[in-house]
Amino acid sequence: MSELIKKAYEIAKEQYAAIGVDTDAAIAKMKDVNISLHCWQTDDVSGTENPDGQLSGGIQATGNYPGKARNASEIMADLEKVMSLLPGKQRLNLHALYGDFSEGMVDRDAIGIKQFQAWIDWCKAQGIGLDFNGSFFSHPKADSGFTLSSKDEKIRKFWVEHLKRSREIANEIGKQLGTPCVLNTWIPDGSKDTPIDRNGMRAQLTKSLDEGFEQEFPKEHMKDAVESKVFGIGAETMTVGSHDYYLGYAIKNNKMICLDNGHFHPTEVVGDKISSCLQFVDEVLLHVTRPVRWDSDHVVTLNEEVQTIASEIVRNDFLDRVNIGLDFFDASINRIGAYVVGTRAAQKAFLIAGLEPTKEMIKLEEAGKNFERLAMLEELKTMPFAAVWDYYCLQEGVPTGSNYIAEVQKYENEVLAKR
Ligand code: RNT
Ligand code: ZN
């Protein structure tokens, strides 16, 4: 089998070379594609605080497939399995509601590094970086639908404290692991029906963010991102943290903007936004997902949208300015399989992006040869990419082609089915 893969690769290499593409270089570039795996696909965003509690905040994981992780050690075991089926090096993206509460419950305004040390140690053992998120949902103090933008001073202060704690934890994570921790802030705040005081709510949010972000941390340890959204379930009419809002905030305050491709109107193209945002902010964070008709967070597949995102990053050498995270949670299929399919799809998009003769195509564009540009884009779609992908997987010592399916099934039978 591996002989066949090598042979196929040699042929593919020649075919790509004929259009000016170096396949070895494209594979080498994959070293810089470090995808942050969102912990929440293991357990449908349940967390370890109150795993049987109701997920709130206008997001929803639909389905009831057996075998979901029930605690931190099951989440870790599942993630280890996932990473063993992925080429390259990943990171972990953890939410604050996944703390270690074995020594007693601690509320969100009181969490500290202690509740996350086990995760840091696990990441250290895996040799991976760790990113972090404050959790502004699935909590009684978020029941009104407002957190950082609340006009109830007690509620607002509680969440500001949570933001501060999350940033301190992120700083400590980055310090301990020696790679900056990306701290993403997303809040569900919004209104089901037409609000009157949009401005007042947004002014509250600005006040809260300014307070929460007051303390400066070294960039080598932590970097802040703010995530916008167009609507949530139960908050259909207005989102306080809209894209206009956060893009403005990020530019003014030198924060990263987090672009989740489920958070825009369906004809908007997130791939197109990257080069716009990067004119004005140093870095962006991505939440790569697949919205089907709404922000449904389906498993990522290799579609045109994801390809545009990856191509825009690779074409412009933006890999050091774009932090890549995933954000999907499908509870209707094997969750480990969901991760592997979704992450490998995103990785494929990046490898495909590296197999484009970009300079030549820019020349066509600049010469006004738009038929030729279109033709090349079409031809690239059916070049022998799979041979390069398989060779990359072979080099990395992970299953090639569809061989991960059997591995996922085995884990299901031996581990998940017993939960
Ligand atoms: C919600 C946002 C947010 C969450 C996670 C759990 O619409 O996309 O990123 O999905 O933080
Ligand atoms: Zn997101």
| pLDDT band per the 50, 70, 90 thresholds, residue 245 | very high
Q: Are 102 and 116 in contact (CB under 8 A)?
A: no
**Atom of ligand 1 lying closest to residue 58 CA:** 7
Q: What is the pLDDT of residues 125-139, one digit of tens each?
A: 999 999 999 999 999
C-alpha span between 152 and 362 (Å, rounded): 54
Catalytic residue list contains 227 = yes
Could you say which ligand is closest to the alpha carbon of residue 136?
1
In this predicted structure, the answer to whether residue 72 has a pLDDT above a threshold of 80 is: yes
Kindly report, residue by residue over 262-274, the tens digit of the pLDDT: 999 999 999 999 9
State whether the beta carbon of 131 lies less than 6 angstroms from ligand 1. Answer: no
Choose the catalytic residue: 263, 273, 298, 348.
263
Can you give the pLDDT at residue 340? Answer: 98
Residue 1, pLDDT > 80, answer: no
Which helix (H) or strand (E) segment is 285 a member of?
Answer: strand 284-288
Residues 6+ apart with CB under 8 A from 41: 326, 328, 329, 330, 335, 338, 339, 342
Residue 277 has a pLDDT of: 98
Whose alpha carbon is nearest atom 3 of ligand 1? Answer: 186
Give me the percent of the chain exceeding a pLDDT of 70: 100
Where does 114-167 show beta strands of DSSP type E?
A: 129-133
Would you state the pLDDT for residue 366?
98
The active-site residue out of 186, 189, 221, 243 is: 186
Task: Give CA–CA dist 348/359, Å, rounded.
Answer: 21
Q: Please tell me if the CB atom of residue 327 comes closer than 6 angstroms to any atom of ligand 1.
A: yes
Ligand 1 contact, 227 CB (< 6 A)? yes
Find out whether the beta carbon of 287 lies less than 6 Å from any atom of ligand 1.
Answer: yes
CA of 218 to the centre of ligand 1 (A): 25
Q: Residue 78 catalytic?
A: no
Express each pLDDT in 363-388 by its tens digit.
999 999 999 999 999 999 999 999 99
Question: Mean pLDDT over residues 60-72, rounded?
Answer: 96
Mean pLDDT of the chain: 97
Q: How far is CA 79 from CA 118, 243, 287, 361, in A?
A: 15, 32, 18, 39
Cα(308) to ligand 1 centroid in Å equals: 21
Specify which residues 322 forms β-bridges with: 284
Give the pLDDT mean for 302-320: 98
287 strand-pairing partners: 260, 325
224: its two tokens: 């802040």
Distance 246 CA to ligand 2 centre (A): 14
Query: In percent, how much of the chain has pLDDT > 90?
Result: 99
Looking at residue 180, what is its pLDDT?
A: 98
Specify the pLDDT at position 376: 98
Residue 240 is given by DSSP the state: S
Q: Where are the alpha helices (DSSP H) in 316-357?
A: 335-353
Mean pLDDT to the nearest integer, 230-234: 96
Query: Sorting pLDDT into bands at 50, 70 and 90, what band is 82?
Result: very high
Ligand 2 centre and the CA of 227: distance in Å? 7
Atom of ligand 1 nearest to the CA of 40: 6
> 414 in helix, strand or coil?
helix
Ligand 1 site-directed mutation target among 98, 287, 294, 330, most atoms within 8 Å of CB: 287
Catalytic pick among 44, 189, 283, 295: 295
Closest residue by Cα to atom 5, ligand 1, is 327
pLDDT tens for each residue of 3-34: 999 999 999 999 999 999 999 999 999 999 99
Q: Is the CB of 312 under 6 A from ligand 1?
A: no
The response to whether residue 136 sits with its C-beta less than 6 Å from ligand 1 reads no
Concerning whether 243 is annotated as a catalytic residue, the answer is no
Superfamily of domain 33-357: Divalent-metal-dependent TIM barrel enzymes (3.20.20.150)
Quickly state the pLDDT bin for 52 (edges 50, 70, 90).
Answer: confident
Buried b (16+ CB within 10 A) or exposed e, 90-106: bbbbbbbbbbebeeeeb
Active site residue 260: yes
Mean pLDDT of 43-70: 94
> Does 38 contact ligand 1 (Cβ within 6 A)?
no
Q: How many A from CA of 262 to the centre of ligand 1?
A: 9
| pLDDT reported for residue 51 | 83
User: Of the listed 287, 330, 389, 390, which one is catalytic?
Assistant: 287
Which ligand does the CA of 329 lie closest to?
1
Q: What is the pLDDT of residue 140?
A: 97
What is the distance in A from the centroid of ligand 1 to the CA of 17? 41
* Every domain of the chain and the residues it spans: 33-357
